[in-house]
């Protein structure tokens, strides 16, 4: 089991003023922030990040949403990071997210669902290095 995961506070949460509360929720959940920045994704960077979903019917909307404003990618550290972070954020559809999870508290819909969390150790590494160089990781 790995001790790193990768997250993005998505544009809806940044726009709605929830990023501070979400960062605090993550820290209170026992995660250490190893890297963080605010970025505006482009069609290419958002499309590349979600390349595995390219053939899905919602891909075009997903890219439009992820480029709709700045977002905050972060690399996080904790024992059992990937699994524990998926628990902290809750189900993809906020209507199904457990009470007290980040998506339950701050997300409105399945597309604008406030936050990303890597689904495997392998993807956590791939996604982290998609956004951060070695010099930006503490």
The only residue of 67, 68, 92, 123 in contact with ligand IDP, by rule CB under 6 A:
92
Closest listed residue to residue 111, CA positions, set 48, 55, 68: 68
Please tell me the distance from the alpha carbon of residue 117 to that of residue 50, in angstroms, as a whole number: 12
Q: Judged by CB under 6 A, does residue 121 bind ligand IDP? A: no
From the list 19-27, 34-42, 57-65, 130-138, the region that binds ligand IDP by CB under 6 A is 57-65
Closest listed residue to residue 50, CA positions, set 102, 127, 112, 111: 127
Please tell me the distance from the alpha carbon of residue 112 to that of residue 81, in angstroms, as a whole number: 23
Please tell me the distance from the alpha carbon of residue 119 to that of residue 86, in angstroms, as a whole number: 7
Q: Coil, helix or strand for 103? A: helix
From the list 21-29, 30-38, 73-81, 111-119, the region that binds ligand IDP by CB under 6 A is 111-119
Q: Toward ligand IDP, which CB reaches closer, 16 or 138?
A: 16
Q: Which of residues 9-48 bind ligand IDP (CB under 6 A)?
A: none
Helix (H) or strand (E) holding 34: strand 32-36
Residue nearest ligand IDP (C-beta atom): 92
Q: Toward Mg ion, which CB reaches closer, 58 or 138?
A: 58
Q: Toward Mg ion, which CB reaches closer, 107 or 135?
A: 107
Respond yes or no: is residue 116 known to be catalytic: yes
Which residue ranges make up the site for Mg ion (CB under 5 A)? 119
């Amino acid at each position: 089991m790995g001790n790193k995961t990768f997250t993005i506070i998505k544009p809806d949460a940044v726009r709605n003023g929830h990023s501070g509360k979400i960062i605090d929720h993550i820290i209170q959940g026992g995660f250490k922030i190893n890297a963080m920045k605010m970025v505006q994704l482009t069609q290419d960077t958002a499309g590349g990040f979600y390349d595995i979903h390219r053939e899905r019917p919602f891909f075009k909307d997903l890219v439009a949403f992820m480029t709709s404003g700045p977002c905050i990618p972060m690399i996080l550290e904790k024992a059992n990071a990937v699994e524990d972070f998926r628990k902290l954020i809750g189900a993809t559809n906020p209507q199904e997210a457990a009470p007290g999870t980040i998506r339950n508290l701050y997300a409105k819909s399945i597309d604008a669902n406030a936050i990303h969390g890597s689904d495997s150790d392998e993807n956590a590494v791939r996604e982290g290095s998609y956004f951060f160089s070695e010099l930006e990781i503490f």
